[in-house]
Amino acid sequence: MTARRGFALLASVWLMVAIAAVAFEVSWLARMRRLATANVLEEEQARAAADAGLEHARARLARALGDAGDAGAAGLMDPWRFAAGASDTVTMGNARYVFSVRDDGATLDVNRASEDEVRRLFAACGADDALAARTAQRIADWRDPDQHRRAQGAERAEYVAAGARDLPRDGDVQRVSELDGVLEMPAAPWRCARAALSVGGTGQVNVNSAPREVLRALPGMGEAGVDAVVQSRQDGARIGNFQEFTARIPPALREGVLRASDRLLPLLSYDTYAVRVRSEGWVEGSPVRVSAEALMVRGGGTVFVQWREFR
């Protein structure tokens, strides 16, 4: 009888342990599901906030176009000139977003730029001639569709041999950040060049807003010529066409620019026609953040969204 009672007690204890374990697992699964649901909800709220940031910027750009139209002919001169560089942080209930606007013409599109332009950009960012040439060739090999390695470049085989984590895309670069994976990318020049590069843009450079490094990457542009253009901008002068552009360059240096005019002219713009809007949205107290980016262009007094993406 005593043995039976002991067995019954032991069985009762194990049953209680089993019930507790099942209850714990059910509670844990329920908690995980609640957290997953909360994360999904917070992500959707963050995405909506990031999208609201894009729309806020779009409305501001549309207002700038309207204000320019109201001002008459004088106001029509580059109505987005001062919109580029704008930023704002907005709270909507428990959601927030921050957005910024940048002139697309202040960057060099890495998919449209020639190998020589990329080389000149890295040289302007402090790389010596040999390093700039090697880096430009490796970026060119990264984005071209073939497996023919340039003299100082690197194709898939070189990345595999080096045990690289990332392999060349062999196609258009989707995000500038992916070029972090280019073999032996020089750290300091890359930090400078990374800020000057973009993807998915118009491929034109606005001489009134582009930084020194981007201007230096253009065909025929030497250091002294770039200095003259930048100094002219700092003095408040606005360049309206190619003739005014070349007039800013000292006569002794002008010949090189004119010789490169067939390549240079299609690359230049003198107004802010396209802007990149970046927005980030989140919910207060949540670690979940959603980033968004859009290319917005103007035409006929209207703002068009060329593309937008979330990540």
Domain CATH code at residue 167: 1.10.40.60
**Residue 192 sits in the same domain as residue 218:** no
**Residue 185 sits in the same domain as residue 90:** no
Q: Say if 102 falls within a structural domain.
A: yes
pLDDT band for 88, please (50, 70, 90 cuts): confident
**Residue 139 sits in the same domain as residue 170:** yes
For residue 207, give Cα distances in angstroms to 41, 220, 253, 290: 44, 14, 17, 33
The per-residue pLDDT for range 121-140, each reduced to its tens digit, is 999 999 999 999 999 999 99
Q: How far apart are the first and last CA of the chain?
A: 69
In this model, does residue 95 exceed pLDDT 90?
A: yes
Q: Decide: 173 and 167 in contact? Cβ < 8 Å.
A: no
Residues whose CB is less than 8 angstroms from the CB of residue 33 and which lie 6 or more positions away in sequence, other chains included? none
- Total tally of structural domains belonging to the chain: 3
Q: What is the mean pLDDT of the chain?
A: 89
- Domain finish residue from 157, 174, 196: 196
pTM: 0.83
Q: Decide: 277 and 58 in contact? Cβ < 8 Å.
A: yes
Q: Say if 98 falls within a structural domain.
A: yes
Q: Computed over its alpha carbons, how large is the radius of gyration of the chain? A: 28
Q: Say if 203 falls within a structural domain.
A: no
pLDDT band for 141, please (50, 70, 90 cuts): very high
The tokens for 9 are 């007690």
The residue range of the domain holding 45 is: 2-106+273-310
The per-residue pLDDT for range 241-279, each reduced to its tens digit, is 999 999 999 898 899 999 999 999 999 999 999 999 999
The per-residue pLDDT for range 199-252, each reduced to its tens digit, is 999 999 999 999 999 999 999 999 999 999 999 899 988 999 999 999 999 898
Q: Say if 256 falls within a structural domain.
A: yes
pLDDT value of position 74: 47
Q: Say if 204 falls within a structural domain.
A: no
CATH number for the domain spanning 99: value is: 3.30.1300.30
The tokens for 37 are 């649901």
The per-residue pLDDT for range 66-83, each reduced to its tens digit, is 987 765 554 457 899 888
- Domain finish residue from 168, 196, 224: 196
In this model, does residue 105 exceed pLDDT 90?
A: yes
- The three-state secondary structure class of 240 is coil
Q: Say if 95 falls within a structural domain.
A: yes
